[in-house]
Amino acid sequence: MLGEDQIDDKGRKYKPQDIKQLFGYMSECDKFAFDNVIFNYQDAWSRYWKLIKTQGKQYKKSALKRIKNGGKPLTNFDIKGHPQFKSKHSATDSYTTNVTNGNIRIKGNTIRIPKIGSIKIIKHQCPQPEWKIKKATITRTKTGKYYISVCFEFEKHIGKITQTTPYKVLGLDYSSPNLYKGSDGSSGDYPKYYRKSEEKLEKEQKKLSHQKLKSGRYKKQRLVVARLHEKVRHQRKDFLHKRSCSITKTFDFVVVEDLDLRNMGQCLRLGKATADNGFGMLRNFISYKLANKGGALIKIDKWFPSSQRCNGCGFVNNAVKDLNVREWECPQCNRLNERDENAAANIKQEGIRLLSTNGITLGDISGKGDSCRSRCQEATLLASKEVDFMVCRSPLRKQGV
């Protein structure tokens, strides 16, 4: 994609208005769709240079593996954080448009979008009348469904939590088979949706591989596979929303390790389990849900020896680095440590230490629940919320979008 003042392969300089004149079809889309692409392009580069300044050039693990196996030499695209070209096949079909002079309006069960007009939608959440629309993103999924994600802005009173009790702090340790293990003894119990659909997926994907590329039957079968993937995705998202809700209702602060999940999936032969769990998504959900009530998600250093340290006496046992050790007895205090529970307790302890250094006072350990929590500091913040609407059938197709 060309950015503002970018030079193309023939050495010509383009500006947004020139591109619209050169490529007629560009004037069919609305102005902001184009502006947002240029903004994203520039943003990607500025974020990349910031990353290079702070961390230096780092190559992706997968690229280094490729070199090891005698593959293609390293390029700039193998550097972590380097902007990638848009892929025609794997990219999400979407565009974002902003509001000017109220050109995006919601009335009953319809939404008005510039250049397209009124569209019938299915509402799962009703926006309040005082909420202001900021922008809307229209997305087409691989199964041909259309969604409109509308960003609203409104004022909200969020009381910042400055005092809490250790009972309101939860340490979460990532566990591959169970999603997580909590310091309160809870377990994620992830139902492994991908594994449940794997057999069906395998069958349908095999069928797809036998069809002639881009033929009618191929297109039909591709939809079957895409629908199966979509089902798993929805199941996972629903489960993680429910879990994060129940966690954030009972706890003010959640402590997790700052793990690089993509790296972990590539290195430890845990790829499918790591990708299926969606622990990163759970972290994101918890993070914004806690921020909405004044709490916070605390990330501790990924090199913190959470599994190796005994929670009773602080002895660091290097023999526990082996992932197969599920239970171990501390040689110093003879305490029997269950691997994940011990790690979660250590993570919580480290989180409490970080909280107290950041000016959040923790009440008496003997105190229980809410009794120790003091009045919150009231603060009015400008909050924003994204509400997803599903489009009935696909009226956009008629418009040639």
Q: Given the rule CB under 5 A, which residues bind Zn ion? A: 310, 312-313, 315, 330, 332-333, 335
332 vs 399, beta carbon nearer Zn ion = 332
114 vs 312, beta carbon nearer Zn ion = 312
Question: In whole angstroms, what is the distance from residue 243 CA to residue 9 CA?
Answer: 50
64 vs 313, beta carbon nearer Zn ion = 313
Q: How far is the CB of 354 from Zn ion (least distance, A)?
A: 22
Structure tokens at 270: 């845990």
Q: How far is the CB of 312 from Zn ion (least distance, A)?
A: 4
- DSSP string of 59-127? B-HHHHHHHHTT-SPP-GGGBTTPPPPPPTTTS-EEEEEE-STT-SEEETTEEEETTTEEEEEEESSPP
250 vs 332, beta carbon nearer Zn ion = 332
If we measure between CA atoms, which residue out of 391, 401, 397, 399 comes closest to residue 111?
391
Q: How far is the CB of 313 from Zn ion (least distance, A)?
A: 4
Q: How far is the CB of 334 from Zn ion (least distance, A)?
A: 7
Q: How far is the CB of 335 from Zn ion (least distance, A)?
A: 5
If we measure between CA atoms, which residue out of 298, 294, 266, 260 comes closest to residue 280?
260
> By the 8 A CB rule, do 391 and 152 touch?
no
Please name the residues in contact with 9: beta carbons below 8 A apart, sequence gap of 6 or more. Answer: none
305 vs 312, beta carbon nearer Zn ion = 312
SS3 for 169-185 is EEEEEEECCCEEEECCC
If we measure between CA atoms, which residue out of 248, 334, 327, 325 comes closest to residue 292?
248
332 vs 374, beta carbon nearer Zn ion = 332
Q: How far is the CB of 329 from Zn ion (least distance, A)?
A: 9
> By the 8 A CB rule, do 16 and 35 touch?
yes
175 vs 308, beta carbon nearer Zn ion = 308
Q: How far is the CB of 168 from Zn ion (least distance, A)?
A: 26
> By the 8 A CB rule, do 107 and 40 touch?
no
Angle 234-298-294 from CA coordinates, rounded to 5°: 80
